[in-house]
Amino acid sequence: MSHDSPLQDLDLAAGFLEPPPRRDTYAGWQRWRAGRGHFAPAPRLTLGQWRALSPRERSLYDLHRTATHVNLPLQETPMSLKVSRLVNRRIRNNALKTRPSTRAGVMVTGWGYQGKTETVCEVAAAFEDAWLAMHHHLHPQPTPGTRDVHAPVAYAQTPVTAKPKSTCQAILGFFGAETKRLTLPELIRQLAASLDDHGTKALILDDITRLRMHRADDQDTLDLIRAFMSMNVTLILVGVDILGSGLLRQGHFDEHTRQWVLPPSQHARVHGLEATQTERRFDLVELDRFRYTTPGQITAFHDHLAGLEANLRLLKAPPGMLTGGRMPEYLMRRTDGVVGLLERLIEDGCQEAMDSGKETLDEDLLDDVVLSLDDPERDALAGEVPAIPGSSRTRTTAAPRPACARGRGRNTVFDDHGPRGQAHG
Ligand SMILES: Nc1ncnc2c1ncn2[C@@H]1O[C@H](COP(=O)(O)OP(=O)(O)O)[C@@H](O)[C@H]1O
Ligand SMILES: [Mg+2]
């Protein structure tokens, strides 16, 4: 490749050859936090420039384009902004509290693929960036005598078929702690000590609604959440349809503070520990999908599409490829305004556009893209996989795509079902 080749950015993007870090360990979380937002997209080439490349350069460039299309950046949306603001305010204000009072937690609810995990992780990572910078500013030298790494944020995913013990183990796993053969009270004590030793300010427990709340151990689960909330961290619980899950069944909504209140446990001792008699407070915030009814909603969706389009590297894409004509309505209909489905459709569409040489996205091409969401990391039974519009697929079973996808009416009115009214409730 010559020195003035349009492809000199390629080595900047070498990061896409590494496997993505898992965020549920300290090392993985740090690697993700430090590397996020550093992906270098493929440079923009005209069709003429692309044609002038050598076969080797062209295949490298096409690989870089594919990497660009599957690593589309997170975009701020009005819905994600609402969630980020609240989560950020809670983490930051709680972290700055000097009294050991109980910290209000946050629950983030929404259906699958609506961006809960990404939105919450991004806010927490940004908090951690700022917190570490402040620490470095105040204590440039490592504090003498400290042995443990500083982990302002801990992230854990609730295990499928979670029980209180395995949930504690998952969180301790973030710190690489040995947890075999410990009893639940021992696990809880160790967790409290770990959070303290690592200076943890925010604990994210993702996919919390995998804890099914209709079993005999419901009480144990609620008591566990109370225990987490006594640990001087901001507890951030993320899940699908939290209100419908039973997690807040014993709670009540305080109109005045607009928070959910979990009363103290009825037991004197909980998990072998003395139960505290304080109530626990949570903000509940919903991460919604895009909607297409009011002018503001329509503008927000168009803005998002324009942002997506700016990141695509198709060689024959006309300006306004995603925002012009009936395309926004079409994309709304295909994805129900779910940000992750939209990303998937565009990603797969771009691959098809490159493979076929069409090098642009239009309805004809996208009609042939079948969305499928087989993701072993998601628990379909916990509602983490959304229904795909236009397919008869339900939450748990995949069904073939309708024979004539293009026969669907185009001027669908996008009903405002609301999250509770959707089919996957
Ligand atoms: N604000 C956003 N902008 C662009 N893409 C997003 C945004 N939020 C989420 N996504 C994409 O949507 C997909 C699903 O997001 P995720 O956070 O895993 O959803 P959830 O946790 O609600 O199931 C991810 O691939 C993510 O990159
Ligand atoms: Mg998630």
For the CA of 121, the closest atom of ligand 1 is: 17
Task: Report the distance separating Cα 390 and Cα 334, nearest Å.
Answer: 7
User: What pLDDT, on the 0 to 100 scale, is given for residue 2?
Assistant: 46
Q: Please give the share of the chain, as a percent, with pLDDT higher than 70.
A: 82
Neighbours of 116 (CB within 10 A): 24
Decide: 117 in ligand 1 pocket, CB within 6 A: yes
Ligand nearest to the CA of 157: 2
Going from the Cα of 117 to the center of ligand 2, the distance in angstroms, rounded, reads 4
For a ligand 1 pocket test, name from 339, 345, 378 the mutation site with the most ligand atoms within 8 angstroms of its C-beta.
Answer: 339
Q: Please tell me what DSSP assigns to residue 149.
A: P
Span from the CA of 124 to the centroid of ligand 2 (angstroms): 14
Decide if pLDDT at 25 tops 70: yes
* Pocket test residue of 75, 81, 111, 113 for ligand 1, highest count of atoms within 8 A of CB: 113
Ligand 2 centre to CA of 107 (Å) is 13
Predicted pLDDT of residue 293:
96
- Contacts of residue 81, defined as CB under 8 A and 6 or more positions apart, other chains included, come to none
Tell me: pLDDT of 377 over 80. yes
Q: Which of 73-77, 145-149, 380-384 has the lowest mean pLDDT?
A: 145-149
Query: Quick one: which of 358, 386, 359, 362 has its CA closest to 372?
Result: 386
Three-state DSSP class for residue 259: strand
**Of 68, 75, 118, 345, which is best to mutate to test ligand 1, by the most ligand atoms within 8 angstroms of its C-beta?**
118
For residue 157, how far is its CA from the centre of ligand 2 (angstroms)?
9
- Please state the φ and ψ torsions of residue 401, each to the nearest 5 degrees: -70, 145
Ligand 1 pocket member 80 (CB < 6 A): yes
pLDDT in tens, 70-114: 999 999 999 999 999 999 999 999 999 887 777 899 999 999 999
Ligand 1 within 6 A of 77 CB?
yes
H-assigned helices in 139-263: 164-174, 184-197, 218-229, 242-245
**Does the beta carbon of 419 sit less than 6 angstroms from any atom of ligand 1?**
no
- What distances in angstroms separate CA 201 from CA 17, 30, 93, 97, 141, one per listed residue? 33, 15, 10, 11, 21
Question: Percentage of the chain surpassing pLDDT 90?
Answer: 61
The predicted structure's pLDDT at residue 180: 86
Cα(260) to centroid of ligand 1, in Å? 26
pLDDT at 408: 36
Condensed to tens digits (0 to 9), the pLDDT of residues 212-265 reads 776 666 778 888 888 898 888 999 999 999 988 888 888 899 999 999 998 888
- How much is the pLDDT for 348? 97
pLDDT of 413: 38
pLDDT in tens, 185-195: 999 999 999 99
pLDDT at 235: 96
Number of other residues whose CB lies within 10 A of the CB of residue 127? 21
Task: Report pLDDT for 219.
Answer: 78
SS3 153: strand
Atom of ligand 1 nearest to the CA of 75: 3
Quick one: which of 116, 101, 119, 94 has its CA closest to 36?
Answer: 119
Mean pLDDT of the chain: 85
Neighbours of ion ligand 2 (CB under 5 A): 117
Q: Calculate the CA 305 to chain-centre distance.
A: 19
CA distance 121 to 244: 24
From the CA of 310, how far away is ligand 1's center (Å)?
18
Which has more confidence, 98 or 353? Answer: 353
What is the distance in angstroms between the CA of the first residue and the CA of the last residue of the chain? Answer: 54
pLDDT band at 388 (very low <50, low <70, confident <90, very high): confident
Q: How many CB atoms lie within 10 A of CB 382?
A: 23
Q: 118 CB less than 6 Å from ligand 1? A: yes
Measure 340 CA to ligand 2 centroid, in angstroms: 10
Residue 3: is its pLDDT beyond 50?
A: no
The yes-or-no verdict on residue 411 having pLDDT over 50 is: no
- Between the CA of 71 and the centroid of ligand 1 the distance, in Å, is 11
The first and second tokens of residue 83, run together, are: 């969630």
Lowest mean pLDDT: which of 152-161, 170-179, 229-238, 402-411? Answer: 402-411
Which one is predicted more confidently, 420 or 366? 366
**29 pLDDT exceeds 50?**
yes
What predicted TM-score, i.e. pTM, was given to this entire model? 0.88
Q: What is the pLDDT of residues 311-345, one digit of tens each?
A: 999 999 999 999 999 999 999 999 999 999 999 99
Which residues, 6 or more positions from 22, have their beta carbon under 8 angstroms from its beta carbon?
28
CA dist list (Å): 266 to 102, 163, 183, 218, 323: 18, 20, 22, 13, 56
Whether 393 has a pLDDT exceeding 80, the answer reads: no
CATH superfamily, with its number, for domain 78-286: P-loop containing nucleotide triphosphate hydrolases (3.40.50.300)
DSSP 104: P
CA distances to 83, 95, 198 from 90, rounded to whole Å, are 11, 8, 20
Spans of all domains in the chain: 41-72+294-419, 78-286
Average pLDDT over residues 381-402: 61
Q: Which of 235-239, 292-296, 387-391, 395-399 has the lowest mean pLDDT?
A: 395-399
- By most ligand atoms within 8 Å of CB, the mutation choice from 286, 343, 348, 395 for ligand 1 is 343
pLDDT of residue 147: 59
Name the packing angle between helices 339-356 and 295-310 (round to 10°): 40
For residue 340 and ligand 1, the question of a CB distance below 6 A is answered with yes
Q: Count of CB atoms within 10 A of residue 45's CB?
A: 18
Q: What is the dihedral of CA 318, 321, 323, 326, to 10 degrees?
A: 110
Question: What is the rounded distance in angstroms from the CA atom of residue 355 to the CA atom of residue 226?
Answer: 53
**Cα 229 to middle of ligand 2, angstroms:** 21
Specify the pLDDT at position 386: 87
